[in-house]
Structure 1
Amino acid sequence: MRTHWNIFIAFFRVGMLGFGGGPSSIPLIYKEVVEKYKWMNDEDFGDVLALANTLPGPIATKLAGYIGYQVTGFWGMLNAVLAGIVPTIFLMVGLLVSLSSFREYDWVQGMTSAVIPVVAVMLATLTWQFIEKAGSGMGWLQTGIMLIIVFVLLEMLHIHPGILIATLLAIALLKKNKIPEQEEERTAREGGS
């Protein structure tokens, strides 16, 4: 029961504080799932994030559903998804009712402007953590080349991120399947000599 309560609180906080949509929720989910509750490690979270980006739909809901399922099964999934979306539903209804009367006030515009740099720093920090992980895993030269190629494909050629991620996942799977075959061939050659 304690784990279900922790799942609810973790994703409720993400739902309440995830200002700016799904991408801004990712660092909050990371903080709750990896750093606070330790339900996943960095590598698992990176894998889940990459997979969730290839699927359609809101990223925060997909992450909540998968992580909740990993922790406590079906009821954990349901708990995490509801905890993540219920605050947004109530806030949207409340804000839409009152927003039209407060929209022009300077303090409302200042509040939304002040949140943007905070979200940018959170995303930059998470990005740097993923770059460090890639650099230590693939090597810094390959990581740098990959960053440049991905930037060109996304920003200059306007290839959809989902297509790019799916392609890279397919390449990684093909490489992973070839490695055991190459090991078997090498072992057979060495055994025959």
Structure 2
Amino acid sequence: MKHLQLFLAFFRVGILGYGGGPSSIPLVHKEVVDKYKWMSDDEFADVLALGNTLPGPIATKMAGYIGYRVAGIVGLINATLATIVPTIILMIFLLTTISSVKDYPWVQGMTAAVVPVVGVMLATLTWDFFKKSQKSLGWLKSSILIIFSFFLMEIFGLHPAILIGGLLLAAIIKKDKDPKKERKIERGNAS
């Protein structure tokens, strides 16, 4: 049953994720976190951050990792195939017909309409992550981190993967230091 659920979840993402990887992220979140509860919001955010630092299509990387986590190697293959098979089928179909309809206004309008829809979906997901980050960091620290990240990427041209990797490294270092502080506090209270 788990393999069928895994396949259906990522097949839906593959079918409905029109517009590429960024449009698939909220769909993956809906399936993995909300519907099947295979991971929490924080775990999904970690998978998304890690997926953004690695090269290649984000939807496929996330499907592979989540599939492996849910059902091992078979789950990895299952979720990855479920993600890419719809695209392969649609590409074969579209390549045979696209040249005959590409100049129609309704096709151009449909393509143009995808951009704001994907923008709204990503903005909604970003807002959800921002609200969650304020719980652990607070509004001020979260806002400063967003502004600082924006300046590094937009003003100084830092690649997002380098920024995400740096933030992940800082979080790991901070996490390693926190238990040591707790142990010192516990030892101090015991004396």
* 1:80 alignment partner in structure 2: 79
TM-score, normalising length from structure 2? 0.95
Between the aligned residues of both structures, percent identity stands at 59
TM-fit CA distance, 1:186: 3.2
Show the counterpart of 1:59.
Answer: 58
* Matched AA of 1:40: M
Cα RMSD (Å):
1.3
Distance 1:186 1:62 in 2: 41
Report whether the alignment pairs 1:97 with 2:103.
no
Which residue of structure 2 aligns with residue 167 of structure 1?
166
Give the letter for the 2:164 counterpart: I
In structure 1, the residue matched to 2:124 is: 125
1:134-149 equivalences in 2 (<5 Å): 134-149=133-148
Aligned to 1:34: 33
Deviation at 1:190, TM superposition (A): 4.1
- 1:84 deviates by 0.2
Q: Deviations over 1:87-141 (max 9, x none)?
A: 1111112212211111100111111122222222111111100000111111000
The offset of 1:184, in angstroms, is 2.8
CA distance in 2 between counterparts of 1:11 and 1:44 reads 18
Match of 2:8 in 1: 9
Q: Please say if residues 22 and 118 of structure 2, whose CA atoms lie closer than 8 Å, have aligned partners that are also in contact.
A: no
Paired residues in the alignment total 191
Q: Per-residue deviation at 1:191?
A: 4.0
The residue type equivalent to 1:66 in the other structure is: Y
SS at match of 2:38: coil
Aligned-partner Cα distance in 2 for 1:30–1:13: 12
Large movers: runs of 4+ above 4 Å: none
The residue identity in structure 2 corresponding to 1:129 is D
Q: Hey, what's the Cα distance between the residues in 1 that align with 2:77 and 2:28? A: 16
Q: Distance in 2 between matches of 1:180 and 1:112?
A: 51
The whole-number CA distance in structure 2 between the counterparts of 1:162 and 1:119 is: 21
Unaligned runs of 5+ in 2: none
Shift in Å at residue 185 of structure 1?
A: 2.9
Aligned match of 1:158: 157
Q: Which amino acid aligns with 1:141?
A: L
